[in-house]
Amino acid sequence: MTGKVSLIGAGPGDPELLTRKAERLLQEATCVVYDRLVSDEIVAMANPDAKMIFVGKMPQCHPVTQDRINEILVEEAQAGQRVARLKGGDPLIFGRGSEEAAVLRAQGIPVEYVPGITAAQGASSISGVPLTHRGLATGVQYVTGHRQADKKLDLDWKRLANPDTTLVIYMGVANIGQIAVGLMTEGLPGTTPVMAISRATTSQERRMTSTLAKVAQDAREAELKAPTLFIIGQVVSLYEAQGLPLEDDRREAHA
First to last CA, the chain: 45
Please pick, among 14, 87, 90, 171, the residue that the annotation labels catalytic: 171
Q: Do 205 and 198 touch, CB atoms closer than 8 A?
A: yes
Beta strand pairing call for 206-211 and 193-198: antiparallel
Catalytic residue list contains 35: yes
Catalytic residue list contains 171: yes
Q: Do 13 and 118 touch, CB atoms closer than 8 A?
A: no
Please pick, among 14, 35, 90, 218, the residue that the annotation labels catalytic: 35
Catalytic residue list contains 45: no
Query: Around Cβ 81, how many Cβ atoms within 10 Å?
Result: 21
Please pick, among 57, 184, 248, 249, the residue that the annotation labels catalytic: 57
Alpha-helix residue ranges (DSSP H) falling in the chain: 20-28, 40-43, 66-78, 97-106, 119-127, 157-160, 176-185, 215-221, 237-241
Q: Do 178 and 151 touch, CB atoms closer than 8 A?
A: no
Catalytic residue IDs: 35, 57, 171
